[in-house]
């Protein structure tokens, strides 16, 4: 890895700014007993999607995966595409109810997935 030229100006990327400011572009909320029963599998699925996405879009990252309750996971991301992919993949794997709300004006997406049984 080469060192930057002397006197070069360092700048944080957009993703790092979002992470530092705790200002996600996407929030995925996953709820239900299925989350508790398959938490490790769901987290691995999200991380694998993040790795695949970062190959072409290195600024698309998971900021955090938080367990708010025993059967609720909240995943925050630096972009609006990764949340949709995570929600769709969880829905495909475990069925349930998937809702997406995209706010174009604020570059923000909220993805909610619930499976009650």
- Dig out the tokens for 33 from the structure: 């007993």
Rounded Cα gap, residues 66 and 44, in angstroms: 14
Q: What are the distances in angstroms from CA 57 to CA 6, 10, 66, 75, 80?
A: 28, 21, 23, 18, 12
82 has pLDDT over 80? yes
In the structure, what pLDDT confidence band is assigned to residue 4 with cuts at 50, 70 and 90? confident
In the structure, what pLDDT confidence band is assigned to residue 2 with cuts at 50, 70 and 90? confident
In the structure, what pLDDT confidence band is assigned to residue 48 with cuts at 50, 70 and 90? very high
Whether 79 is in a domain gets the answer: yes
Whether 3 is in a domain gets the answer: no
Q: Domain limits at 76?
A: 14-114
pTM beyond 0.75: the answer is yes
Q: Mean of the per-residue pLDDT values for the chain? A: 94
Whether 33 is in a domain gets the answer: yes
Task: Write the DSSP symbol of residue 4.
Answer: P
Whether 4 is in a domain gets the answer: no
Whether 5 is in a domain gets the answer: no
């Amino acid at each position: 890895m080469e060192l930057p030229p002397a006197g070069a100006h360092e700048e944080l990327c957009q993703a790092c700014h979002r992470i530092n400011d705790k200002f996600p572009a996407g929030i995925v909320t996953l709820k239900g007993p299925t989350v508790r029963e398959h938490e490790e599998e769901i987290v691995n699925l999200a991380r694998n999607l993040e790795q695949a996405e970062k190959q072409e879009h290195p600024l698309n990252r998971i900021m955090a995966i938080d367990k708010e309750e025993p059967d609720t996971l909240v995943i925050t991301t630096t972009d609006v595409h990764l949340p949709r992919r995570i929600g769709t993949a969880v829905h495909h794997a475990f069925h349930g109810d998937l809702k997406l709300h995209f706010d174009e004006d604020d570059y923000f997406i909220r993805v909610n997935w619930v499976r009650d049984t």
